[in-house]
Chains A and B, each alone.
Chain A
Amino acid sequence: MAVMMTGGEAMADKASDTLKAAFTKELESVDSYFNSAREGVILQRTIWDGLIYLNQATGKYEGNLATSWKWVDDTTLEFKLREGVTFHNGEEFDADDVVFTVNFVADPANGVVTQRNVNWMKEATKVDKYTVRIVTKGPFPAALEYLAGPVSIYPNEYYAEVGPKGMGLKPVGTGPYQVESVEPGKHFVLKKFDGYHDGPKGKATIGTVDIRTIPDVNTQLAELFSGGLDFIWGVPSDQAEKLAATGRFNVVNESTMRVGYLELDAAGRSGTDNPVTKLAVRQAINHAIDRQAIVDNLLKGKSKIVNAACFSSQFGCEQDVAAYDYDPEKAKALLAEAGYPDGFAIDLYAYRDRAYAEAMLAYLAEVGITANLKYLQYSALRDLRRNGETSMSFQSWGSYSVNDVSAITSEFFKHGAEDFARDDEVKAWLDTADTSIDPAVREENYSKALRKIADQAYWVPLFSYNSNYVFSKELEYTPTSDEVVRFFHARWN
């Protein structure tokens, strides 16, 4: 496709000061507490602000709607708020907005869909107009990470009046862009907010951001070539290479926090006679797959193989864990040792990246494991997993861009419905690490948990994902590994 697109001339959007971008998925609601999509995270960071901000360049927290904060005790955070901030509708920002937002989202009855982002908060209380306290349900060391991420502050009067539905159709925040129009799922127009405060995000420079949903990636490319779009991402690596070769676009690859892995039913939930309940079999599967070859030939870009059950930049992601190199002979020997000299047959479930799954089938076949690919919709596969019916499935997890191990390892190894290891020791370590506010204690316990997960080969950690960003030569933008597109950092050159 990309090769055929040689003619045409891109029209200048710089002149009209409008950045035209595309979403692939129909976003269900712009209200960030009522969607769980990547597109939603992008709009959330654009339209709203959090109390704090994580500077991607330095990795340090900076004050955003708050100017300073401190732990009063293990479960209470106190914030001094920034004065003189206004919402897009002119409402003044103060402690009441924080209190209202936190108390609204923390109440399960309000049905926030991303509960894990908010259910650690018990309540917020006002100290004075510009001082507020957030109380957590228990010690929750990752609080700052969440407050710099998915938790953003809504205007209390407006939100009380319109609710999530109204917020989804006519969002109001304090962020660098305000919303001009929303056609649900289809089209979003954002305008630079001239009254934006002097926060660490910085003021937006591009006047208008016009986002349309275009499901077909080939159509997105066609729009890019004909000048209908300036900015797309998530472009498959083969297409990205061809686009780079035309010399007409900026093509930038950046790693994402998404990690791919094989989930093995070590606990025997799908049947105790299941071969992967045996440690040697799980280790054999780890040795059987040439992850580096899959990265080099299929994922490409900044993807790396992963050995620990987390993404390397996340707090607590111990890198010094058992690594299983590609060694089919050793895999065969381990299988023989486990009592499967001629291999066995097993179902491999998957819901995305069929090509990667098929590559793994071939590697497994080489050591005698006949894997039968069952490719399902995400929700259908998750139902099967939750019922413990899958002995091997190819999964991926983006940690919701939360840069802390609690967002991934603790999600899958604390005896939840998606825990196929059911290891009491691992759970105990994770519980300790998740609830301690001493970073050293956390690191130590996450390290123990991750080492045991690797030793026991509960997962086959595979690789980190990457994304190709393709945009007009008139644009300047530096992607970040949290996969959040920050339109307010884009500028015309």
Chain B
Amino acid sequence: MLVFALKRLGLVVLVTLTVSLLSFSLLFMSGDPASAIAGENASASDIEAIRTLYGFDRPFLVQYGDWLSGALRGDFGQSYYFKLPVSTLIADRLSVTMLLGVCGISFALLTAVPLGVVAAMRPNSFIDRAALFLSVMGQAMPSFWFGLVLIVIFSIQLNWLPPSGSSGWQNFIMPTVVLGYYAMPAIMRLTRAGMLEVLGADYIRTARAKGASEMRVMFKHALRNAIVPVVSLAAVQMGFMLGGSIVVESIFALHGAGYLAWESIARNDLPTVQALILIFSCFYIIFTFLSDLANAWLDPRIRVG
């Protein structure tokens, strides 16, 4: 298990470095940052002055080296747009996104896994059909529309929840539902498919023959085996959510990291974008790593392979 973990960890570091180099070079080629920093009403001389001030005239590798050595020390430079340290800015925005991501994935798992199990217990029954209907809806409904519908119902008609902001826990209910609902269908269907496959296996028949209770058969014997692919999927979904949902954060005015990334691209705020890409990809990498470990623990065959 330890060797397995160490091998994976080595891969994590290499992938992270590659991502940082790629993102840095792509952004570097994507337009003139000096013009973006100067803002909409700036004149030609303003832009020239800014170009030399920020050192955009230096060679690419020098700029990358500079950035990487800072990043390793947790210093991502100063945001061109806000003129504040990128690390402060991101710490502020990331807390909202992380809270939302954890709530979203929890909501998705807590609804999708039981639904998937129930659907698999009675294939083609009314419950199965209803679960299928729910999942198709989640996949088909654009989240901006779903978000606005929730706002109209719960904020305007009923006046139960605030439409936007992040000042209290009430602010997170609707975004959690919108974000989680989008992730739910895939988890639900994967759970159902895995359960159906496992429930046909010999050892389940044996477990039932032993006289184990239905609950024990379902959750102890079947789910543990069926959940392996779900863990991998949930890890990817979690990475996606921590990358921030631009749409959800924008509709509910949550000012999270996803919205910050989106806006920073438009503003050519390179230090912020680079730091966010690195952090987002680290989330993906770390969650994939953790899900590999979790799966190795759940299924000993993976450890050997």
The complex places the Cα of A94 from the Cα of B164 at a distance, in Å, of 43
The complex places the Cα of A398 from the Cα of B39 at a distance, in Å, of 13
Interface status of B82 (Cβ within 8 A of chain A): yes
Interface status of A122 (Cβ within 8 A of chain B): no
Contacts of A418 in B (CB 8 A): 44
Interface size class of A (residues with CB under 8 A): 35 or more
Interface status of A73 (Cβ within 8 A of chain B): no
| Pick from B89, B152, B253: contact of A213, CB under 8 Å | B253
Residue pair B40, A216 in contact (C-beta under 8 Å): no
Interface status of A186 (Cβ within 8 A of chain B): yes
Residue pair B159, A36 in contact (C-beta under 8 Å): no
Take A113-B38, A114-B41, A226-B162 as given contacts and tell me if A185 and B46 are in contact as well, using a CB distance cutoff of 8 Å. no
Contacts of B185 in A (CB 8 A): none
Take A34-B83, A400-B41 as given contacts and tell me if A186 and B31 are in contact as well, using a CB distance cutoff of 8 Å. no
Take A111-B53, A219-B151 as given contacts and tell me if A37 and B253 are in contact as well, using a CB distance cutoff of 8 Å. no
Using an 8 Å CB-CB cutoff, how does the interface string of B41-62 with A read, 1 for contact, 0 for none? 1111111011001000000000
Residue pair A184, B253 in contact (C-beta under 8 Å): no
User: In the complex, which residue of chain A has the Cβ closest to the Cβ of B151?
Assistant: A222
Residue pair B253, A226 in contact (C-beta under 8 Å): no
Residue pair B44, A416 in contact (C-beta under 8 Å): yes
Residue pair A29, B82 in contact (C-beta under 8 Å): yes
Interface status of B35 (Cβ within 8 A of chain A): yes
Interface status of A9 (Cβ within 8 A of chain B): yes
Interface status of A344 (Cβ within 8 A of chain B): no
| Pick from A115, A184, A214, A216: contact of B42, CB under 8 Å | A115
Residue pair A228, B164 in contact (C-beta under 8 Å): yes
Residue pair B46, A379 in contact (C-beta under 8 Å): no
The complex places the Cα of A7 from the Cα of B156 at a distance, in Å, of 6
Take A34-B83, A184-B89 as given contacts and tell me if A222 and B46 are in contact as well, using a CB distance cutoff of 8 Å. no
User: In the complex, which residue of chain B has the Cβ closest to the Cβ of A407?
Assistant: B41
User: In the complex, which residue of chain B has the Cβ closest to the Cβ of A114?
Assistant: B41
The complex places the Cα of A315 from the Cα of B255 at a distance, in Å, of 41
Interface status of A4 (Cβ within 8 A of chain B): yes
The complex places the Cα of A270 from the Cα of B253 at a distance, in Å, of 42
Interface status of A290 (Cβ within 8 A of chain B): no
Residue pair B35, A165 in contact (C-beta under 8 Å): no
Shortest distance between the CB of B202 and any CB in chain A (Å):
55
Residue pair B43, A411 in contact (C-beta under 8 Å): yes
Using an 8 Å CB-CB cutoff, how does the interface string of A1-43 with B read, 1 for contact, 0 for none? 1001101110000000000000000101100001111000000
Contacts of B47 in A (CB 8 A): 386
The complex places the Cα of A111 from the Cα of B49 at a distance, in Å, of 8
Interface size class of B (residues with CB under 8 A): 35 or more
The complex places the Cα of A440 from the Cα of B247 at a distance, in Å, of 54
Contacts of B37 in A (CB 8 A): 113
The complex places the Cα of A4 from the Cα of B165 at a distance, in Å, of 21
Interface status of B225 (Cβ within 8 A of chain A): no
Shortest distance between the CB of A43 and any CB in chain B (Å):
15
Shortest distance between the CB of A400 and any CB in chain B (Å):
6
Interface status of A71 (Cβ within 8 A of chain B): no
Contacts of B152 in A (CB 8 A): 1, 4-5, 222
User: In the complex, which residue of chain A has the Cβ closest to the Cβ of B81?
Assistant: A28
The complex places the Cα of A243 from the Cα of B266 at a distance, in Å, of 31
Residue pair A114, B148 in contact (C-beta under 8 Å): no
Residue pair A222, B255 in contact (C-beta under 8 Å): no
Residue pair A416, B84 in contact (C-beta under 8 Å): no
Contacts of B45 in A (CB 8 A): 115, 119
Contacts of A226 in B (CB 8 A): 155-156, 159, 162-163
Interface status of B250 (Cβ within 8 A of chain A): yes
User: In the complex, which residue of chain A has the Cβ closest to the Cβ of B48?
Assistant: A417
| Pick from B44, B84, B89, B266: contact of A386, CB under 8 Å | B44
Residue pair B44, A379 in contact (C-beta under 8 Å): no
Contacts of B44 in A (CB 8 A): 386, 416-418
Contacts of B83 in A (CB 8 A): 28-29, 34, 164-165, 168
Interface centre among B46, B251, B266 (most CB of A within 10 A): B46
Interface residues of B in 55-92 (CB under 8 A from A): 81-84, 89, 92
Shortest distance between the CB of B281 and any CB in chain A (Å):
24
Closest 7 pairs between A and B when the two form their complex, measured CB to CB? A36-B39, A379-B36, A7-B157, A222-B163, A214-B253, A8-B156, A417-B44
Q: A8-B157, A28-B39, A184-B84 are in contact. List 11 more A-B contacts (CB 8 A).
A: A4-B152, A37-B40, A113-B46, A115-B45, A168-B83, A184-B82, A214-B164, A215-B259, A222-B156, A223-B164, A379-B266
What is the interface of chain B, defined by CB distance below 8 A to chain A? 31-32, 35-47, 49-50, 53, 81-84, 89, 92, 148, 151-152, 155-159, 162-165, 250-253, 255, 259, 263, 266-268
What is the interface of chain A, defined by CB distance below 8 A to chain B? 1, 4-5, 7-9, 26, 28-29, 34-37, 108, 111, 113-116, 119, 164-165, 168, 183-186, 212-216, 218-219, 222-223, 225-226, 228, 377-380, 382-383, 386, 398, 400, 411, 416-418
Ordered by A's residue number, 17 sampled pairs between the chains whose C-beta atoms are within 8 Å are: A4-B156, A7-B157, A36-B38, A113-B38, A113-B42, A115-B49, A116-B43, A116-B46, A165-B84, A186-B255, A215-B259, A222-B164, A228-B164, A379-B32, A379-B267, A383-B31, A398-B41
